[in-house]
Structure formats: C-alpha cells, structure tokens
Amino acid sequence: MNNNRFQPIRSSLRVLFIEDIRLKLFSLAVALFLYSFSHSSQDGQRSVAVNLIVMLPPEHINKVLVSPIPPHVRLTLRGPRVLLDELENRDLGSIQVRLQGMEDSRIVLDPQWAKVPPGIRVEQIDPPILDLKWEDIVSFEIPVYASVVGNPLPGLVIKEEPSLEPPRVCVRGPQSEVARIQRARVEPIDLDGLDEGEHSVSLAVFHPSGRLVFEPSNVVARIEIVPNLVEKIFKEVQVAVLGGHKIKLFPPAVDVHLRCPPSIAQALKPEHVVPRIALSSGANGTNETRPVLVDVVLCNARVIPPEVMVR
C-alpha cells in the first residue's frame, strides 16, 4: 500500500537524474565553463614590488647625492584576473630612472615607466615621488686614534701609547657627514702573544659611511713591548767605599731608584741595596768624583746624585 503511494515520486526522480544523462552532464560542463570564463574576464587588482634603479649623472667634482633611494617601489596593477594570477615579478623587470644633472631635486615616477604585459595597466606607484638632496663635497685633516686589545706574553707590558704614521689622515665626503667626524678610527691593535721588543702593524681606517673616503686608507702603528717593571725608591742610602780606604764622601748618602718586576720589588729591603764606589790602590783619594754603582738582580738602577766627591 505504502509502496504504491511513493511510486510516482520514484518515477519522477528517475526521469530527472537518469534519463538523458549525457545531455545533462554536457549542459553542466558548459555552464561551469561559462561561469569560469565570465569571472576570469572580470577586472581584478594586485600589488607587486619591482626593483628601482636610479642612474646617477657623471660624477661631479663638488656634489654628491645624500638622500636615500628605495631599492624597490610598489605597483598597483589592474586587469583581468586570469592575467594577474599568472603574473610573476620577472615579467615586470625594473623601473629605471636616469638623472639628468645635479639640479634635479624631485622626480615624479611615471606609471608608463613600468613594463607590464598587454592587458594590464598600472594604476599607482608607491612612492610616487623621489625627493633628492645633494650636498657639497668637502675634505679635512683629522687625527687618527687606535685602541689596544689583548695582552703580550706574561711579565710584559706595552711601554707607551702606540705611535701612528701618519698621525693624521684626510677625510673627504658630504659636508654634513664630514662635520660629524672628529677623528679617524683604525682597527684595534692586538697585543696577544707579542714578545719583548718593537713591533709594527698596518691598520685599516674604519669607514663609518660608504660616502666617506679616507686618504691614506691604512696607517702603520708602532709599539714597544717591555718587561713589566715597577719603581721602588730607597732614600738616603749610605755609600760604601770598596778598597778599605778611610775617606770622606760628599754627599755620604744617595737616593736609589729601582725599576724591577713586581715580585722582586715587593721583596726588596734596604739591606739589599748597597750603593758603592771603587778606589784604585794608586789613587790619592782626595777631591775626585766617582760614579756610584748599584747592582740589584733583574732591576734597573738610577742613583741621585750619580756621582760623589772623595775628600
């Protein structure tokens, strides 16, 4: 009973979906094609970045471009969607701008400069304008500064500040940048592993800006590595007379300045420091000046006064 009631509905569905199935599938395919074609032919919009190449005029002896130039610009494109979807950056190439002279201060970018495939147009360029700033080229002499890093071999130090040759260099470039440079910096001097003696090294001048030129671009640093010595002073030390002569000295005592390694200087005591003079057996021993001698192992001695008078 129930099956008979639904039989007409089943027959209608069978006619709708099964009969003339090939014609129905063909009609569906045509409809999809027409829908896709109509949408692909519609206009769309796309934003892409392209390289910007600015070709400067021949170098002028007194002017330089200091304003930044963007490496690329962004194009807003409009055209059929199918063309925009298939578009690749290499199809667009680059935008080239040739400056005519130093008097150019503003360049308006023309959309026609962009190379786009047929059917696509450029609606906008961002940025649309390039503002150019030129500056005078100036040159000044400035002092050279070198820093020191590292340490020489144990027990050694650098004697004094490095000497630089030449001590001054010429910097040339845009006026605003040259005005900010007070001194030229060079590579640091590396003392690691240096032995006692004199050393020289060539150092490159550090360039804070690609528009600055330093002449010369290298300097020679000279340094001297010496033992690490500290000074210890012994005041009013009596002068001894070698040879057993009973004579008088003027002055009878001297000051002894010793420069020694730190460990030696720390251990020195007054009894270790014996200034002396030597008299030959044939000397008459009166009214003569004699040098005062001091010997301390691993130390350099300086005596004040360096001579005494024998009376």
- Model confidence over 96-108: pLDDT tens digits? 888 877 777 888 9
CA distance 259 to 298: 9
- Which amino acid appears at position 236 of this protein? E
- Asked if residues 111 and 122 have their Cβ atoms less than 8 Å apart, the reply is yes
pLDDT higher than threshold 60 for residue 37: no
Give the mean pLDDT of 159-187.
92
Give the model confidence (pLDDT) of 178-202 as tens digits.
999 999 999 999 999 999 999 999 9
Residue 239: band (very low, low, confident or very high) from pLDDT cuts 50, 70, 90: very high
Query: CA-CA distances (angstroms) from residue 171 to 164, 176, 256, 279?
Result: 17, 12, 50, 65
pLDDT higher than threshold 90 for residue 165: yes
pLDDT higher than threshold 90 for residue 116: no
Torsion angle of the four alpha carbons 92, 93, 99, 104, in this order, in degrees rounded to the nearest 10? 30
CA distance 297 to 238: 20
pLDDT of 307 reads: 94
In 3D, which of 253, 206, 211 has the Cα closest to residue 68?
Answer: 211
Place of tokens 């002073």: 233
Domains of the chain, CATH where assigned: 44-132 (2.170.120.30), 136-227 (2.170.120.40), 230-310 (2.170.120.30)
DSSP states of 89-101: GGGT-EEEEE---
Residue 30: band (very low, low, confident or very high) from pLDDT cuts 50, 70, 90: low
CB atoms inside a 10 Å sphere around CB 289: 12
pLDDT of 288 reads: 84
pLDDT higher than threshold 60 for residue 41: no
